Chain A
Amino acid sequence: MSHAENRYYIPHGSHWPIVGSIGLLLLMVGVSNWLNGHELGRWVMFGGVGIMIIMLTGWFGTVIAESQTGKYNSQVDISFRMGMYWFIFSEVMFFAAFFGALFYARNMSVPWLGGDSNNFFTNLLLWSGFESEWPTNGPGTIGGHFEPMGPIGLPLLNTAILLLSSVTVTIAHHALREKHRGVLKIFLAATFLLGFSFVYMQAFEYMEAYEHMNLTLGSGIYGSTFFMLTGFHGMHVTIGAIMLTIIWFRVVRGHFTPEHHFGFEAVAWYWHFVDVVWLCLYVFVYWL
């Protein structure tokens, strides 16, 4: 046991946060300039990304090292856990904004353009002939005719993949607690492989959409909500899968004990969160 149990743990100063801020500065300034049409901005952005990666590696490296040397008491462990819960809650709210946009479009703005509620004249005088429907790219048929993404085929397969990965990560967790390191390694590896294959499929789906269905970010409100929701979700899956991979390497190195494995659990929670978001996506974006 750690000797620090009855005392507060107070870490010493760290230079990683300030490095992170510089990374963010370059990243944001770079992207902004790039969007404004300055090619140079892109390189600044890459610089920022590089610094961010170094920062994350360094910062987490320090924390892992401290954790491995038993510096953290259970209070620190709880702090980390709570921090992770609330971080995930903030992510939920971030997705809520986009789901909100989707519901608003489907239940309010599109029907209104079609003359619903107090918008009889909106339809009559501005968009005469437009009938409310979903999916739609609006009365201006922005982006031209497109084919919506159906719920079967790839999306269904992706649902299966994610659900399965949720099972494998749980098995891995049990294995960790019951000291079956071999099972742990295999199922954890299976989890991130499933994760990456999800991302691969998703990329494939996007290519389909762009090349054969004329479904793009610019396909009116349907395209906007479709790609923003699935896109941010895909980004989160990618991050989650990378984190799982890192955890796998840590497992291989012999990190984590049956009692103490916050790093593992945090990533597992994150993974479940990504999974739940997908289920909502599947229902509201692909299916209904």
Chain B
Amino acid sequence: MLKSNRDPGYRFLYPKQYRQGELPMIRKLCLITLGLLGTSVAHADWALNMTKGVTELSAETYDLHMLIFYVCCAIAVVVFGIMIFSLVQHRKSKGAVAATFSHNTTAEVIWTAIPVVILILMAVPSAETMVRLEDSRDPDLTVVITGYQWKWHYAYQGKDVEFYSTLARESNDARGKDSGIDVFSVDNYLLDVDRPLVVPRGAKVRLLITSNDVVHAWWVPKLAIKKDAVPGYLNEAWFRAEESGVYRGQCAELCGKDHGYMPIVVKVVEPEEFLAFVASEHDEKARVASAN
């Protein structure tokens, strides 16, 4: 049903500036000059920090995050350092006598110019990553995702597989105010679903995200995808998971009372396993059809 990549519609979709080449040199330079401290503290699984994720882009996003974080830290050290020095040295109780100067054009020009330079250095790699995030051409698999209050619907394009995905039973039983169940005893409390989205490892998966009622947002941190599901419009996103595994996320746009209860689980499997999954879905469908 989907048109091919050579479809003229693509020219609409991806005008020239979207397809421009990358600037890896500049990016690397920035990373090297400003991220010197970066490598030593790169705890991927630190619960304090953003995840590195399992896609190239999630890793890139993570690096970008660390880069700006360290830039901010560096500026903070300088700014707060000077202020603290001043607070310690220039206090009345130590007998400091106030100077009377009230401007200095050179200083003012410098502290306007330096931030501009820093910002430009940050903007370049950010823009590059942004361009790549938006480039969902040539997918191996396309899934249409529809948000509902309060569940997700997945439809694999051209595969005749579709299903709803809702909060897992155990979490659902435990979440009530007077459930009497200790939520710590529930595995992956609020982060588990009955039917995960299954995709093959290494494949470029394009997501077409929309909603049936209010705005939701489909977010899986390890895939570095967060895209709003807007009723009446389809948004695009894509990922290529490098490692198989189970990746969890949540709806990230307030969508009513059960906004906190519509998690997302993506199961990345080996390609053969994926084929088996599709086949079993077809069998199941046939079984249900004949049973009726």
Residues of A that sit less than 8 Å from B by CB: 112-113, 115-122, 124-127
Contact = CB atoms under 8 A, between A and B. Distances in A.
A120 B10 CA distance: 8
Interface string B123-147: 0000000000010000000001000
Given A126-B210, A126-B233, A117 B12 contact: yes
Closest 3 CB pairs of A and B: A122-B234, A121-B234, A120-B13
Given A112-B233, A118-B13, 6 more contacts: A113-B232, A117-B13, A121-B234, A122-B233, A124-B2, A125-B208
Contacts of A125: 144, 208, 234
Contact of A115 (B2, B12, B134, B144): B12
Nearest to B157: A125
18 contacts: A113-B232, A118-B13, A118-B134, A119-B234, A120-B9, A120-B10, A120-B12, A120-B13, A121-B234, A122-B232, A122-B233, A122-B234, A124-B2, A124-B3, A125-B144, A125-B208, A125-B234, A126-B210
B60 interface: no
Contacts of A126: 210, 232-234
Contacts of B236: 118, 121
A116 B134 CA distance: 16
A55 B35 CA distance: 65
- How many B residues are at the interface, by size bracket? 10 to 19
Q: Is the interface of B mostly helix, strand, loop or mixed?
A: mixed
B12 A116 contact: yes
A118 B134 CA distance: 9
B80 to A, nearest CB: 39
Given A113-B232, A126-B233, A121 B12 contact: no
A121 B13 CA distance: 9
Contacts of B208: 121, 125
Interface string B45-86: 000000000000000000000000000000000000000000
A124 B210 CA distance: 13
Contacts of A120: 9-10, 12-13
| Residue from A113, A120, A121 whose CB has the most chain B CB atoms within 10 Å | A121
Interface in B1-33: 2-3, 9-10, 12-13
A121 to B, nearest CB: 4
Contacts of A115: 9, 12
Nearest to A121: B234
Q: Is the interface of A mostly helix, strand, loop or mixed?
A: helix
Contacts of A118: 13, 134, 236
Interface in B205-247: 208, 210, 232-234, 236
Contacts of A112: 233
A112 B12 CA distance: 11
A116 B9 CA distance: 9
A126 to B, nearest CB: 6
Contacts of A122: 210, 232-234
A124 B10 CA distance: 12
B250 to A, nearest CB: 24
A120 B11 CA distance: 10
A116 B12 CA distance: 6
A229 B135 CA distance: 39
B234 to A, nearest CB: 4
Contacts of A124: 2-3, 9
Contacts of A113: 232-233
A194 B134 CA distance: 55
Given A125-B144, A125-B208, A126-B210, A119 B233 contact: yes
Interface in B136-187: 144
A121 B208 CA distance: 8
Contacts of B232: 113, 122, 126-127
| Residue from B10, B234, B236 whose CB has the most chain A CB atoms within 10 Å | B234
A118 B230 CA distance: 14
A197 to B, nearest CB: 42
A113 to B, nearest CB: 7
Nearest to B142: A121
Nearest to B206: A121
B283 to A, nearest CB: 27
Nearest to A118: B13
A127 B12 CA distance: 17
A43 B10 CA distance: 58
Contacts of A117: 12-13
A192 to B, nearest CB: 45
A119 B234 CA distance: 7
Contacts of B234: 119, 121-122, 125-126
A118 B13 CA distance: 5
B141 to A, nearest CB: 15
A125 B10 CA distance: 15
